[in-house]
Structure 1
Amino acid sequence: MKPSRFDYLRPRTVDEALAMLADHGANDGKLLAGGQSLVPMMNFRVAAPAVLIDLNGIADLAGISEDGDRIVIGAMTRHNDVKAHPLIARHAPLVEAAYHHVAHFTVRNRGTLGGNLVHADPASEMPMIMLVLGAEMHVASAAASRVVPAEEFFLGTYVTAIEEDELLMAISLPKRQAGQRHAFEEVSLRKGDFAVSAVGAVADIEDGRCRNLRLGLAGVSDAALLAHDVGGMLEGEMLTDRAIAAAGEAVVAGIEFRGTVSVSAEYRSDVTRELVGRCLRRIHEGAAE
């Protein structure tokens, strides 16, 4: 199939893009970033925007830089550029670890981090990683700008807090603190597919005890999840086999797993429990420092 008819606009500056959004955002206008999700949806006519606003001509929306104790990633930065950037490897290694499971090279070469986050597929890795790392989304319209914490940004399947006239400008991440450990685990039906279940975590280990654990999940609900209860449950605790097993049980007990044609709810639950355990063991052992 081919897309239904649409008007095509290609702004050259952020101001032009915001003005176009103000005119068309509430009237079936769509932003085109990498197009790895939107274009197939248009081809199948799942999406039928009246106006397509192509952001690929705006150089100011791409790039990675330092800003004090944070890393700032332009929303139009390609996945492979994020994955390979030395600032990400040094200050946000969980992002790099997760990218080994994201799609395929050619998709990552075209797709953008911002487009992925605004698309908000619940089985996508990056929304969950943003939750775990405490990212902030820098959003703007023609009238104002604002910063939205990741925990307030992802609202449901393909739904975020961004308004129809707003553009995701950049994502900022806190730099990894010295000694912070990270781990990422995923199961998918084929390499590069969306996750059946994915788990990411960061934590400190002080005197053998777990501190500041943030553990997230993707592929198991209608949006990426942050397991707040487990972080509190393990605060100050030794990551013994018993504690890790209890954490895995606590995580799956708080989720209503759903089955699909290819994956049963029971299988997804079992996989999630195992992946939580693997992440916590890796953090305990220091294998992912």
Structure 2
Amino acid sequence: MSVPAAFDYHPATSVDEAIALLQQYGDEAKLLAGGHSLIPAMKLRLSQPEHLIDIGKISSLSYIREEQDHIVIGGLTTYVQIEQSDLLRKHFPLLPEATSMVGDQQVRNRGTIGGSIAHSDPAADLPGVVLALKAEIVVQGPQGKRTIPADDFFVDTFTTALAPDEILIEFRLPKATGSTGSAYDKLANKASHYAIAGCAAVITRGQDGSCSAASIAITGATVRTIRARAVENALVGKQLSETVIAEAVSHATDGEDMIVDIHGSEEYRRKMAAVVARRAIMRALERI
């Protein structure tokens, strides 16, 4: 059995303490939330932090609540809490739907939304959902809090706009207005449950029945989670027939660098991204 390299363990009891530890140990430290991404990497020695800062017991970062025109979710809220939240089922059913497809029950019991988003695995499910819902991501560092739009958060594979001494503490989701439907669809790797290609779709229909707004995010196929702007532009202002949708999703990964590995070639992933995007958009329309 693989075992991690030696490290020092630091259980943090507050956000301020965790930030201080990040400042103290710098590049030699890693944050531990749910641990389902970091621990396997450490066991394979792909990641070898000298200091592990455990933020998993900071209870103040685990919540789902309503604040005026937003729903806010703490960074340490677990997948199972999201999956079972009546508040999210009412306002953002896309999140519980996608979360139910993450890993297995053991992973969903321990894994956290903040850990997933901060890790920025391009094959993970929740980065696409957070992007499609146009979330505001609140982070905290030595200089205080700042808010990063989801559109600006995902930089590259395993790379985000988080500074090394910042912690992701909250997601703020603006409530939808108008007639809106959403859906998540993915082609999953049967062993890992990660997305070979996935799509989160949010569609709003105007009074004349045409698409007045669209937010389409692709995950799994590209080297980072992306908004499929070409698809959105092709949908907005149109009556969404099957023909219109099929033409729109053919542009799902235009101009993007694709993941190429043993699970799929570039051509295969481009085609599968279009397939899951069409399915997600069609189901989102049905749910309006």
Class of the TM-score when normalised by the shorter of the 2 chains: over 0.9
Q: Hey, what does 1:281 align to over in structure 2?
A: 282
Name which of structure 1's ranges 203-212 and 252-261 shifts more when overlaid on structure 2.
Answer: 252-261
Off by >6 Å, runs of 4+ in structure 1: none
Instruction: Give 1:258 deviation, angstroms.
Output: 4.2
Please say if 1:203 is aligned against 2:203.
yes
Distance 1:232 1:161, change over 3 A: same
Alignment of 1:98-117 (within 5 A): 98-117=98-117
> Normalising by the residue count of structure 2, what TM-score does the alignment of the two structures yield?
0.94
Instruction: Give 1:59 deviation, angstroms.
Output: 1.0
Aligned mates of 2:38, 2:258 — CA distance in 1: 27
> Percent identity among equivalent residues?
34
Determine if contact 2:199/2:216 at 8 Å carries over to the other structure: yes
Determine if contact 2:230/2:248 at 8 Å carries over to the other structure: no
Determine if contact 2:203/2:213 at 8 Å carries over to the other structure: yes
Query: What whole-Å deviation, never above 9, does each CA across 1:200-240 have from its counterpart, x for those lacking one?
Result: 11111222211111111001111101011221222110112
Aligned mates of 1:101, 1:11 — CA distance in 2: 30
Q: Which runs of no fewer than 5 residues in structure 1 stay unpaired?
A: none
Determine if contact 1:27/1:50 at 8 Å carries over to the other structure: no
Instruction: Give 1:270 deviation, angstroms.
Output: 2.0
> Normalising by the residue count of structure 1, what TM-score does the alignment of the two structures yield?
0.94
Determine if contact 1:257/1:265 at 8 Å carries over to the other structure: yes
Aligned mates of 1:185, 1:191 — CA distance in 2: 17
Aligned mates of 1:20, 1:121 — CA distance in 2: 25
Aligned mates of 1:153, 1:253 — CA distance in 2: 20
SS state of the match for residue 251, structure 2? helix
Q: Hey, what does 1:84 align to over in structure 2?
A: 84
Aligned mates of 2:36, 2:284 — CA distance in 1: 33
Instruction: Give 1:252 deviation, angstroms.
Output: 4.0
Q: Hey, what does 2:228 align to over in structure 1?
A: 227
Aligned mates of 1:167, 1:137 — CA distance in 2: 11
Q: Hey, what does 2:140 align to over in structure 1?
A: 140
SS state of the match for residue 216, structure 2? strand
Aligned mates of 1:166, 1:97 — CA distance in 2: 29
Aligned mates of 2:46, 2:81 — CA distance in 1: 29
SS state of the match for residue 180, structure 1? strand
Please say if 1:185 is aligned against 2:180.
no
Q: Which runs of no fewer than 5 residues in structure 2 stay unpaired?
A: none
| Aligned residues: CA RMSD | 1.6
Aligned mates of 1:279, 1:10 — CA distance in 2: 41
Determine if contact 1:209/1:236 at 8 Å carries over to the other structure: yes
Structure 1 residue identity aligned to 2:282: R
Name which of structure 1's ranges 268-277 and 78-87 shifts more when overlaid on structure 2.
Answer: 268-277
SS state of the match for residue 27, structure 1? helix
Aligned mates of 1:138, 1:223 — CA distance in 2: 20
Distance 1:169 1:252, change over 3 A: closer
Structure 1 residue identity aligned to 2:29: G
Query: What whole-Å deviation, never above 9, does each CA across 1:221-276 have from its counterpart, x for those lacking one?
Result: 11101011221222110112221121021224444444322323232222222222
